[in-house]
Amino acid sequence: MTVALKTIEIQETSTNNVVNLKLTGRLTSEDYERFVPEIDELIEKHGKIRIVAELVDFHGWNAGALWEDTKFALKHFSDIERVAFVGDKQWEKGMAYFCKPFTRASIQYFDASQAEEARKWISLS
């Protein structure tokens, strides 16, 4: 299943509990209104999930989206096992560290040139 949204694209992988996200532009609360039910469904279907978040020409969140992201993180504090952020900006690397207190997931940042390494890391037992 691939769900194309304005700034978030969700793609299930052949590994049932791994989800690829492609984030572009600036996220809004409307993006979360479409995104969250899809992720909720995947968590219900697979239990704990792992996420590869590819940041492509990503510009962050508006205030409403930041609030929705915080609510999502609290709701799914224990539902996500690993998150691999893949990006190309220094602030995106910092974002990976900023997220750690909001989840039990192992989080790691990978430069865009290390996308394949991120996919390998996300699949480790």
Q: Where are the domains of the chain?
A: 2-123
pTM of the complete model? 0.86
Mean pLDDT for the chain? 88
Distance CA 68, CA 13 (A): 25
2-123 classified as CATH 3.40.190.10: no
3 has pLDDT over 60: no
- Residue 49, both tokens: 């999930």
2 has pLDDT over 70: no
Each residue of 73-115: pLDDT tens digit? 889 999 999 999 999 988 888 888 888 888 899 999 999 999 9
What burial letters (b/e) apply to 49-63, b meaning 16+ CB within 10 Å? bbbbbbbeebeebee
Please state the separation of Cα 82 from the chain's center in Å. Answer: 10
